[in-house]
Amino acid sequence: MPDLGLSVLLKGKNFARILGGLGVALKISLVSVAISLLLGTLLGILMTWKNPLSRAILRLYLEFIRIMPQMVLLFLVYFGTTRAFGWNLSGELSSVIVFSLWGTAEMSDLVRGALTSIPAHQYESAAALGLSKRQSYFFVVLPQAVRRLIPLSINLITRMIKTTSLVLMIGVVEVLKVAQQIIEANRMSSPNAAFGIYLTVLLLYFFACWPISLLAKYLERRWR
């Protein structure tokens, strides 16, 4: 077995530090995911309304967030708000704000897509059965839309978890930054550590994202 430099992980508190880094990444992403799922669903429903003003505003918001690289958004919120308004947001809070803005925008478009993909005859049949507008929405359209949403939102959630690696640019020390710190601190004593440490990071991301995929699979089967 080639030397992967894994012994570096056992030095001092290194393993606890890298797990702590994963904790930071998960805390930021899961809080943002919770906010995004909630707000994204609300905005997605709003987007299907025919009101031209609300549609235009939501469209603008979505396009703005979609075009902006997350890195730019992080810099805008972390440094920009200090320049413009003198707010001193912490790195973690800035990250949660950016990831929530991003997640909400993408989630709302997914919800809009899922809702509009429900064929018109479903609405019509519900009306023919004597269900009110509200009833047909909650009992017929939404359950079907949610089922279509599952694989799409899982993609978004795992993407949000992985993209937290960018927050090291605003001074938040998360799993990837800890990994780089460990590799660099041992650059002389174990120059091969990079491979082993990055492999560990890969496994950690995998174990963070895999349960979410399992949950999605379960829900899809359950709601068939």
Given the complex with other proteins, which of 100 and 190 has the nearer CB atom? 190
Per CB under 8 A, does 120 bind other proteins? no
- Alpha-carbon distance of 8 to 10, in angstroms, equals 5
For residue 71, give the amino acid letter.
Answer: M
Segment interacting with other proteins (CB under 8 A) among 23-31, 44-52, 80-88, 107-115: 80-88
Number of residues that bind other proteins (CB under 8 A): 26
Exposure of 71 in the CB half-sphere (CA atoms within 13 A): 4
Per CB under 8 A, does 75 bind other proteins? yes
Per CB under 8 A, does 96 bind other proteins? no
**Could you tell me the smallest distance in angstroms from the CB atom of residue 88 to other proteins?**
7
**Could you tell me the smallest distance in angstroms from the CB atom of residue 78 to other proteins?**
8
Per CB under 8 A, does 11 bind other proteins? yes
Per CB under 8 A, does 67 bind other proteins? no
For residue 1, give the amino acid letter.
Answer: M
First-to-final CA distance of the chain: 46
Q: Computed from CA positions of residues 74, 75, 79, 81, in that sequence, does the dihedral angle turn out positive or negative?
A: negative
Q: Which of 1, 50, 69, 88 binds other proteins (CB under 8 A)?
A: 88
Contact 22, 207 (CB under 8 A): no
- Alpha-carbon distance of 151 to 212, in angstroms, equals 11
Residue 153, token pair as written in the block: 């939102």
Q: Which residues bind other proteins (CB under 8 A)?
A: 11-14, 17, 75, 79, 82-83, 86, 88, 168-171, 173, 177, 180-188
